[in-house]
Amino acid sequence: MTANLSANSTESPVVKYVRLPLLALTLGGVVLVLGRLLLFPATDGQTKAEFDFPEQVPLPGWQAQSATALPIPEKAQAEMVSGKRYSYRQGDRALAVEIRYLVNTDPSVRNLLLKYGKSTPTVAFPTTIQQDESGGFYSIYADETHAHLTSCINPRGSSTVTEAQFMQNRYVLDLRPERALPVLLGRETLRDGRCLWTVMSAPLQNTPADQVYPQLKAAWTDWQAWWQPKFPTP
């Protein structure tokens, strides 16, 4: 009986010959799929993410007035998911906040200002960049009628203004072990190129820009703190 069982459990040379190439082929396919996911995490064939901004975003010290959807320019169809313009008042002062959810975007805020036709600084752009207490960066400047503050809220890490700042966040915070599974499953890309690009504007009303900047900075601190934990899901 024992001899018969042993004989039946022995694989023939033909089975062994076929099994090894099949295992090698399967392993090779797995390696190729994983390699593509890691090196080329493009979303070919997938639809662009969807996100609807809320009708109200609280801003301490300011009274919400209205909220309207921002149009998506023809040249920004591939990167802009949605956008909203929020209006606030604080006594006789007004504040407008535009926020756009951008994917796979140019992380340079200066380039975004030009692309979307927003007011740009009349001085060298690097001189407008400041850093807040939390480590985030923003650009603040004024034209003839308004003071402006703009920055990119990142999916992970502090806010950024330049491409170098944005890429630093990606290298430090995107390449983490806990993101391996979502990347391999195609739920996220290896390098997260998304941004909640914000532009705040307040009228000068014959007031020096230096006196309006503190109001913008305070509003930005609250705005960023509200949005960072609510960054859209990929």
CB of 86 closer than 8 Å to CB of 99: yes
> In whole angstroms, what is the distance from residue 97 CA to residue 220 CA?
10
Q: Does residue 6 surpass a pLDDT of 80?
A: no
Tokens of 223: 């705005």
Question: Encoding tokens for residue 210?
Answer: 């230096």
pLDDT: which is higher, 4 or 171: 171
The domain segmentation of the chain, as residue ranges, is 2-39, 63-230
What is the rounded distance in angstroms from the CA atom of residue 180 to the CA atom of residue 178? 6
Q: What angle do CA 136, 41, 164 make, to 5 degrees?
A: 30
Mean pLDDT of 86-99: 97
| DSSP structure class, residue 92 | T
104-117: per-residue pLDDT in tens?
889 999 999 999 99
Q: Are 190 and 41 in contact (CB under 8 A)?
A: yes
How many residues appear in the chain? 234
User: Could you tell me where the beta strands, DSSP code E, fall in the chain?
Assistant: 63-69, 80-90, 93-102, 129-131, 137-142, 146-153, 195-203
The answer for residues whose C-beta is within 8 angstroms of residue 232's C-beta and 6 or more apart is 49, 51, 81, 101, 194, 196
Q: Reply yes or no on whether the pLDDT at 23 is more than 60.
A: no
Q: For residue 131, give the DSSP letter.
A: E
Name the helix (H) or strand (E) containing 185: none
**Mean pLDDT, the chain, whole residue set:** 81
Q: What percent of the chain has pLDDT over 70?
A: 71
What is the DSSP secondary-structure string of 135-177?
S-EEEEEE-SSEEEEEEEE-SSSS-BSSHHHHHHHIIIIIS-G
| pLDDT average, residue stretch 119-135 | 94
Parallel, antiparallel or unpaired: strands 137-142 and 146-153: antiparallel
**CA-closest candidate to residue 127, choices 107, 137, 141, 148:** 141
| 24 pLDDT more than 80 | no
Strand partners, 195: 102
Supply the DSSP symbol for 221. Answer: H
